[in-house]
Structure 1
Amino acid sequence: MIDPSALHHSSDRLEKGTYRIHWKEDVPLSKYIQDSFPLGNHSILSYDNSESFADVKKELKAVSLKKRLGITIRATSDIRNHLHFDRRNNYLEVYHYTSFLKEQLRVTRDVGDCSSPSSSLKRGVLPRQLVLEVLDSLQGTLFPLSDPRSKKLLRSLISKCSFDPDILNFEVSSVRRVGEESVPYVYLADRLADLYNELQTPRPRGWLQQSMQRKSGARHVMMATLVGVIFAVLLGIASLAVSSYQAWIAYQAWKHPVQPS
């Protein structure tokens, strides 16, 4: 689930962020995981008791991302790439193997502290907080199972993109401890915040929007002006066509006058 062989992949994939960290021989696995998933601290997403936490999560639903940003959802088998947003190609990578995530949580459900990479790796699992965040980002944020549109999208991804069918099965008592019903984001805070910022201030997608952004910061004013000019031109063409038709009718009436009976 974590591919350590990034050293031999193309520079293009590295540039896109598909593989962020090389696992060098002198680096322990615990340090490698820490580097692959640096801790973040977002003013809203890292605090599940904040007033805006639920509101921000609602905006980050996959159906909203697809509708408002035109994002394509892509499956990935590398958990490091979960929620990696490729702006150039406008796709979001999603790690979808919830059956694996749940099994990881079952292993540490009734044991002691498994929050740090070193303590969790001694038991052969990933940090519990990280696994909780990945699972909750799937079933609670991107694809909330209580939302019919999200479930419909999930079923489509299962049938067309080979998503893990287990993603439709929501489990609490068998995998979560008391107090883990709501999950703050620290490992995935920056990735989710990146998506949220894109929703608030989307980058221009088409050639026209990109050109206007390069030439002026007030691209919205330019867009409105351009639309107005285009509308005026079309209206002028329509008026000219009507006038030409009327002139042609008048000419025909003059050339072929109706003789009184």
Structure 2
Amino acid sequence: MISPQAAQDREKISRQILGKGGDFPAYFKFYDDLARRNNDYHLTVSTSPCPLPVTNIDVLRAAKVITSNLSKTKKETEGQLRKDITSSSDSPDSRYHGNEPAAIGMAVEAMFMIDPAAKERHASDFRLGQHYRPSSWLPDETLASFVERIFPPSLVGSQEAVAAAAAAMEQGQHGALRARKLQKRLGARFRPTNNLAEHLLFDEQRNYLYIFHHVGFLKTQLARYEGGAVEALENIGLRESLEAGTLPPQLLVETLYSLQGVLFPSVDPASAQILDELIDKWRFDPECAEYDGMPQRSSNFRFIYWGERMAHLHQLMTRRPPRNKLERWFHSHSTEGNALLIALVALAISIVIGVVSIGLNIVQIWLTWMAWKYPSASSGGS
């Protein structure tokens, strides 16, 4: 049971950041963890003077500063927030606040569900999936540039592979990438992520498929564009979306459809059962199983943001990766780079077998000749 003050704060956050009031348990579980992580960090880091903990007021103020100063860099945005705090009458200590960077970071995560300091939270050589490396919002970079960098609007990979995967998925209601088939074919184990940038990344070492599961967040963000055709959403630019406090609607639609239309469609009871287990065991957003707000895509709808990752999953399905040591050994010794070595080994084995066969034939002929030449010795021995 939350306190009346906490309930009021949640209502303010949901109305300003999510666009409408209401109960969003999965989102506020994430928000509470986010606040705890940031404030615990500041309590353990020794600075002088010590920065104050980030409050809900700080996060809401930072959200307004961010959307009103999109042309400014991260460093400039923090400076603007510091000015606003200094001149504000509700600041606990107008002489020094010190938590502007943390407040900006929390606001970005709360508004857009992306981690602006992801690179700092991992080792320098960390990699997830085929190409993904965590990125952070750089001090001399605008927010729009950062978002565009982690969500490139154009496909980086092979256009042919994406087109082939899309054509294959069109057959049978995207059946090629349903959760039950990914689980059976790849041994996929679905794991939740609160960072939208990690959506649909497949860790082939552990067979983890990371899924951004905050469907309630996606629906409330899309509700701001209610009445617009799905096809028209592709034309809404990044800056226009960020000014409204949302991500590009095309990205939101693709993410929602990849969850409810591709991985866990309601027409597939086996995949729906997997989703129910994920909600119970891994705390997936319960709204993942609510299909009423899923947009209906047309025949010319394109996966601009997630097309490459979906194509990669489709390629893995058509050529299942090795899942144990024996399969990995055969796989590593059957690539094009080892084809000549395998051919030479096979030739050597053939030569050895041939020499042995010739030797045995010679011995057999010699024994036959000796038996013919010395029949008495042969019969005497018997």
| 2:314 pairs with one of 179, 193, 196 | 196
1:212 is paired with a residue whose SS is helix
Larger Rg: 2
Decide whether aligned partners of structure 1 residues 63 and 27 sit closer, same or farther in structure 2, where only a CA change above 3 A counts: same
| 1:55 pairs with one of 168, 171, 192 | 171
In 2, the alpha carbon distance for the partners of 1:10 and 1:122 equals 30
| 2:330 pairs with one of 200, 204, 212 | 212
Structure 1 match to 2:135: 21
In 1, the alpha carbon distance for the partners of 2:256 and 2:126 equals 26
| 1:37 pairs with one of 135, 151, 156 | 151
Structure 2 match to 1:133: 254
In 2, the alpha carbon distance for the partners of 1:45 and 1:103 equals 29
In 2, the alpha carbon distance for the partners of 1:12 and 1:88 equals 19
| Residue pair 1:42, 1:189 contacting (<8 A) in 2 also | no
Matched, 1:149 2:270: yes
Cα distance per residue 1:93-122 (max 9 Å; x no partner): 000111100001001224786632111111
1:154 is paired with a residue whose SS is helix
**Which amino acid in the other structure matches residue 124 of structure 1?**
G
| Residue pair 1:42, 1:186 contacting (<8 A) in 2 also | no
Give unpaired runs (5+ residues) of structure 2: 1-112, 343-382
Equivalent positions of 1:67-216 (< 5 A) are 67-110=184-227, 115-172=236-293, 176=295, 180=297, 183-216=301-334
| Residue pair 2:169, 2:176 contacting (<8 A) in 1 also | no
| Residue pair 2:117, 2:135 contacting (<8 A) in 1 also | no
Give unpaired runs (5+ residues) of structure 1: 223-261
2:191 is paired with a residue whose SS is strand
| Percent identity of equivalent pairs | 32
**Which amino acid in the other structure matches residue 209 of structure 1?**
E
CA RMSD of aligned residues (A): 2.9
Decide whether aligned partners of structure 1 residues 191 and 90 sit closer, same or farther in structure 2, where only a CA change above 3 A counts: same
Decide whether aligned partners of structure 1 residues 66 and 125 sit closer, same or farther in structure 2, where only a CA change above 3 A counts: same
Decide whether aligned partners of structure 1 residues 142 and 12 sit closer, same or farther in structure 2, where only a CA change above 3 A counts: farther
Structure 1 match to 2:50: none
Decide whether aligned partners of structure 1 residues 159 and 13 sit closer, same or farther in structure 2, where only a CA change above 3 A counts: farther
**Which amino acid in the other structure matches residue 201 of structure 1?**
R
Decide whether aligned partners of structure 1 residues 51 and 78 sit closer, same or farther in structure 2, where only a CA change above 3 A counts: closer
| Residue pair 2:186, 2:321 contacting (<8 A) in 1 also | no
In 2, the alpha carbon distance for the partners of 1:153 and 1:130 equals 25
In 2, the alpha carbon distance for the partners of 1:62 and 1:13 equals 30
In 2, the alpha carbon distance for the partners of 1:212 and 1:45 equals 28
Structure 2 match to 1:236: none
Return the TM-score normalized by structure 2: 0.51
| Residue pair 1:133, 1:185 contacting (<8 A) in 2 also | yes
**Which amino acid in the other structure matches residue 75 of structure 1?**
P
Decide whether aligned partners of structure 1 residues 54 and 72 sit closer, same or farther in structure 2, where only a CA change above 3 A counts: same
| Residue pair 1:45, 1:184 contacting (<8 A) in 2 also | no
In 2, the alpha carbon distance for the partners of 1:133 and 1:45 equals 15
Greater Cα offset, 97-106 or 207-216: 207-216
2:224 is paired with a residue whose SS is helix
Which structure has more relative contact order (CA 8 Å, sep 6+)? It is 1
Greater Cα offset, 137-146 or 7-16: 7-16
Decide whether aligned partners of structure 1 residues 212 and 44 sit closer, same or farther in structure 2, where only a CA change above 3 A counts: closer
2:250 is paired with a residue whose SS is helix
Return the TM-score normalized by structure 1: 0.73
User: Structure 1 residue 33: deviation in Å?
Assistant: 1.2
1:14 is paired with a residue whose SS is coil
User: Structure 1 residue 45: deviation in Å?
Assistant: 5.4
In 1, the alpha carbon distance for the partners of 2:306 and 2:185 equals 22
Decide whether aligned partners of structure 1 residues 144 and 10 sit closer, same or farther in structure 2, where only a CA change above 3 A counts: same
User: Structure 1 residue 31: deviation in Å?
Assistant: 1.4
Cα distance per residue 1:14-61 (max 9 Å; x no partner): 32366532210111111111111112274585699x754422821001
